[in-house]
Chains A and B, each alone.
Chain A
Amino acid sequence: MKKTLLAICSILLITTASFGQAKKPTIMVLPSDVWCNQNGFMIEYDNQGTKVKVPDYKRAFQSSSDLLNVISKINGLMADRGFPLKNAESALKSLESESAENAMLTSKGGASVAESPVDKLKKQAKADIIMQLTWVVNTTGPKKSITFTLQGLDSYTDKQVATAQGTGAPSFSAELPVLLEEAVLSQLDNFNASLQKHFDDMFENGREIVIRIKKFDSWDGDLEKDFGGKELGAVIEDWLKANTVKGRFSTTDMTENMALFEQVRIPLYDAGGNATDARGFCKGLQKYLSAAPYSVTCKLMMKGLGQATIVLGDK
């Protein structure tokens, strides 16, 4: 009897422990495109006749001590709140050193590291939520003030999940770093309050993700292929209805070749009580489509916690 009770208690404890931890999103602070443009940290290149400007983060981190101060302050305050951030400058350096290591790495037999073009494309400094930072120095006569904006952008849904914005008190004497520190101190609590709301919503209604369905051109089927009176696209929608939190998702696009599902609310834990993400959720769909009567071979690709792509017809 005692042994049975002990076993039940252990199972309960293990279940509680495994349910306690959802997958934690990563957050990284980056200067906005507007800030980079205004401060001359952009790279311009010719894209088939069109001039395109993209932010040059590396040069910005190396040149602007104000940017370093602000990011360092935000990182410190967020760590104090128990949510340490990913440091963008370090992430860029890690990427560079990893690329160099990969280029040099060979096996004893002379083989090098396998890397597809997609792998190369995916080599970016990334985080689940980007804290986008902008400040503008306002000058009225001898007085200076700072307009400071902090936006929390979800990397997968493109939604702004948190924000804080305001203009500080004008000052005759305070230097820019002091004004910036004041701005961070006064705005970060409001930013965190809205971020907390986003997390609360996630715990209540599930993680919001984006799912893309595509097909290889070598496959003779498509999303309009009929299975017992139902098109494959509709079959996928039915599966999503059954497996999302409260059946919540939006079909944004659906053609015979592709489908885009947005605002897909997935549970934070799978049936086994393990923390899950977009990839874990879509593995279920992949398995469902691979089995009879559909028997469609699928390739599953993911991007962070909140985006997954299933390509039908091949691996």
Chain B
Amino acid sequence: MKKLTTTIVMTLALVTGLIFSPSAMAQIGEKKAERKANKDTEDFRYEIECVGNGAMGTYLVKVWSYSKKPTVATEQSKKNAVHGVIFKGFAGGGQGCVAQKALASDPAIEEQKQAFFEDFFRDGGKYMKYVTVSNDGAVGEGDRLKIGKEYKIGVVVSVQKDALRKDLEAAGVIKGLSSGF
């Protein structure tokens, strides 16, 4: 009986140790932060600004994303950049930056094409095709801010807007200039 109790106690200790090991805890924390970051993207909780004239067919933008984990915020910047170009647009500013309107002119399109966008913006989804992080995702000095318990990270991202627009038009998500003619 004593032997059985010892075995049970040891097994429980092992399982608990596995579950609550530092690496497992970190993974759980990361997943939670990713889910929160995805929710923030849906809620437009990010900022997007123009940082210069990109190469032909691209927008060069800086995206500010929020997360408790700096790595999650940096990674989420790609998703936020594409999301911002489709639904939000961005203001102009210095460096000859010109304000650009969102690709989707109809604000209701996000709800109307919910299934499409859920698949498009899933982790590792099609949005990755249109986005490139500048400087290998290195965060510049002054672009890593600690606000309360969160980090606000600014990453410069290039979005291939021409290819993105063409694919969204082909998928019937947004209208092309010659639609209906």
Chain B 36-95 residues near chain A, CB threshold 8 A: 53, 56, 92, 94-95
Q: Is the CB of B94 within 8 A of A169?
A: yes
> Which of B20-28, B98-106, B110-118, B121-129 is near enough to bind chain A?
B98-106
Q: Is the CB of A186 within 8 A of B53?
A: yes
Q: Is the CB of A182 within 8 A of B96?
A: yes
B side interface size, CB within 8 A: 21
Q: Which residues of A contact B181 (CB under 8 A)?
A: 21-25
Q: Which residues of B contact A189 (CB under 8 A)?
A: 100-101, 161
Q: Is the CB of B92 within 8 A of A82?
A: no
Contact with B along A219-255 (1 / 0, CB 8 A): 0000000000000000000000000000000000000
Closest chain B CB from A208 CB (angstroms): 16
Q: Is the CB of A186 within 8 A of B180?
A: no
Q: Is the CB of B98 within 8 A of A166?
A: yes
Closest chain B CB from A28 CB (angstroms): 15
- Tell which of A22, A145, A185, A192 has the most Cβ of chain B within 10 Å: A185
Partner of A196, one of B92, B96, B177: B177
Partner of B178, one of A82, A168, A186: A82
Q: Is the CB of A192 within 8 A of B96?
A: no
Q: Is the CB of B96 within 8 A of A169?
A: yes
Q: Is B29 an interface residue (CB 8 A)?
A: no
Q: Is the CB of B180 within 8 A of A199?
A: yes
Q: Is the CB of A190 within 8 A of B101?
A: yes
Name which residue of chain B comes closest to A170, CB basis.
Answer: B96
A166-B92, A166-B98, A169-B95 known; A24-B178 Cβ under 8 A: yes
Q: Is the CB of A82 within 8 A of B105?
A: no
Q: Which residues of A contact B176 (CB under 8 A)?
A: 81-82
Q: Is the CB of B177 within 8 A of A186?
A: no
What 6 A-B pairs are tightest by C-beta distance, nearest first?
A: A169-B96, A24-B181, A186-B98, A168-B96, A82-B178, A83-B177
B-binding residues in A (CB < 8 A): 20-25, 78, 80-83, 145, 166-170, 182, 185-187, 189-190, 192-193, 195-197, 199-200, 203
User: What are 30 sample pairs from A and B whose C-beta atoms fall under 8 A apart?
Assistant: A22-B180, A22-B181, A23-B181, A25-B181, A78-B177, A80-B162, A81-B176, A81-B177, A82-B176, A82-B177, A166-B92, A167-B96, A168-B96, A169-B53, A169-B97, A170-B96, A182-B96, A185-B56, A186-B96, A186-B97, A189-B101, A190-B99, A190-B100, A193-B101, A196-B105, A196-B175, A196-B177, A197-B105, A199-B179, A200-B105
